[in-house]
Amino acid sequence: MVNVETISLSLISHTNVGKTTLARTLLGRDIGVVRDEAHVTDTADQYTLVETPTGDRLLLWDTPGFGDSARLARRLEASGDPVGWLLGQVWDRFRDRALWSSQTAARNVREQADVVLYLVNASEAPDEAGYVGPEMRVLDWIGKPVVVLLNQLGKPLSAQAEAAEVQAWRGALAGARQVRAVLPLDAFARCWVQEATLLQTIAPLIAEARRPAFDRLVEAWMAQRRDVFDASMRELADRIAMAAADSERIDDASVLDRLRDVGGAVLGKLPTLSGRSDETDETLPSASRQLGMRRLAERLDAEIRDSTERLIRLHGLEGRASETILARLAEHYVVRQQLSEGKAAAFGGAVTGALAGLKADLATGGLSFGAGLLAGGVLGALGAFGLARGYNVVRGKRSSSITWSNAMLDELVTTALLGYLAVAHYGRGRGDWTPSEHPPHWRGVVEAVLRERRDAFTHAWSLRGEAQARDAIVEALQPALGEATLAVLERLYPGSRTR
């Protein structure tokens, strides 16, 4: 028979350090009152963090903040029975608010806590946080195990910078007898894998008889987070697959004209197919192509905004995605068109010997741009035509169309993962979700992980010609995105539990 247990974590700190804000983030819902002033929370309130199907519960207690810690510690030291004296005193809730709040917090720890989560303001240097020492002495007297959480760290730090911050606080707290661990957990910018690390850290601090229940609670909590993670990866896969499978038909003649213009930009004056010399130095796409580009961009922009809002809701947040600005659009289009054998021969003949990478594929009536074309001055010429970051394969199509290039899809994967990280790190205590600049080190980590997994994404792009292309690409992308994102999280938070 399973022994059903209720396990309690007491969230403790000096007043106005951010307990209730962190509690909102951990619980994923709004609780209590958040105001930038002392002693806003004046009662100890319990909330269920997670519950198992068998009835085990993990409670999080939001408590009043310690106040006037130095005076409190001096009185405790003068008493023969510090804890008994603290709990036995009668202070007025309003006239002696600081001491009354301290007593309420201490009583909660003494009577309810299996483990104490002690929050510090990490924007202060350890030697500037004068309240910490006296409050540690109070917690030492009570005798419950303490995990110190570093709040107000600012934007997510690199692994090295975070480790240095933790080490500084660990050194400052070396004399605190009950402190078992020091962890970063910012109420505004933590991630679920950091919460998982917190639960892993707590596990050995739970009484052995209650450990099986705590293990069940951790597994239930992880299952919830993995459900959100899997749904998020499905959302990102569907967004990218939409772009990969999307296309816009354009006028054949205008495409041929633009191909001719590109050749002219490389070779100088180039005879047209009609024999006339083309004196025009055009740098803009044709009207038909501009319209196709705009339609593709509008659909992608709408999909990114809608998808981001769904991602926000999956994480229990509120808010709307801002307008998405798609930079350097012209670099990310690929034009596909069918050329007759005669036109291909005429165009191919016009550039014979000048562009080794450009050849007319007469056997299939198509035109292929090889890698040699994307070099030197040719790259600049093709930039205006929108081929600078992709290759153009124009065979087997019954009409001309414009699509996103593989290079653009690769960039969409990168930005999708960065967007996921931004949402996953956004603490509910921060309020409604709003987009912001991601920490600079994120992109480097994401790009490195994706380079190692290039083949999986190349395979996904190869499915664009399938009859049910979008569905096929989603099925290929979802596991690839999931593995890549977990690898990113493991590099950002070494040693954390992600699976």
Confidence of residue 235 (pLDDT cuts 50, 70, 90): very high
Residue 95 has what pLDDT?
A: 63
pLDDT at 104: 79
Q: What is the pLDDT of residue 4?
A: 92
Grade residue 454 by pLDDT with cuts at 50, 70 and 90: very high
Q: Which residues contact 142 (CB under 8 A, 6 or more apart)?
A: 83, 106, 109, 110, 178
The helix/strand/coil state of 277 is strand
Question: Cβ–Cβ contacts within 10 Å for residue 421, how many?
Answer: 22
* Confidence band for 171, pLDDT divided at 50, 70 and 90: very high
> Would you say residue 352 has pLDDT above 50?
no
Number of H helices, E strands in the chain: 16, 12
Task: Identify each DSSP E strand in 95-206 by its residue range.
Answer: 115-121, 146-151, 179-184
User: If you average pLDDT over residues 311-338, what whole number do you get?
Assistant: 54
The domains found in the chain, sorted by start residue, are 6-190 (3.40.50.300), 227-492 (no CATH)
pLDDT at position 43: 74
pTM assigned to the model: 0.77
| pLDDT of 375 above 60 | no
Distance CA 149, CA 11 (A): 10
Residue 267: is its pLDDT beyond 70? no
Q: Answer yes or no: is pLDDT of 389 > 80.
A: no
Is the pLDDT confidence value at 411 over 90? Answer: no
- 83 CB-near residues (< 8 Å, 6+ apart): 76, 106, 110, 141, 142
463's tokens: 């499915």
Please compute the mean of the pLDDT values over residues 77-90 and round it to a whole number. 71
Query: CA 235, 238, 242: angle at the middle one, nearest 5?
Result: 145
Cα 239 to Cα 243: distance, rounded to the nearest angstrom: 7
Distance CA 193, CA 493 (A): 8
The set of residues, in sequence order, having a beta carbon less than 8 Å from that of 253 and lying 6+ positions away, is: none
**Token pair in block for residue 190:** 């933590």
- For 52-153, list the strands marked E by DSSP: 57-62, 115-121, 146-151
Give the tokens for residue 171: 């050194």
Q: Where are the alpha helices (DSSP H) in 454-496?
A: 454-461, 469-492
Cβ neighbours of 114 (radius 10 Å):
20
Closest by CA position to 97, among listed 134, 68, 136, 132: 68
CA–CA distance, 71 with 318 (Å, rounded to integer):
42
pLDDT top residue among 107 and 246: 246
Judge whether 47 and 31 are in contact, CB under 8 Å.
yes
Task: Tokens 């975070």: give the residue.
Answer: 162
Label residue 396 by pLDDT band (50, 70, 90). Answer: very low
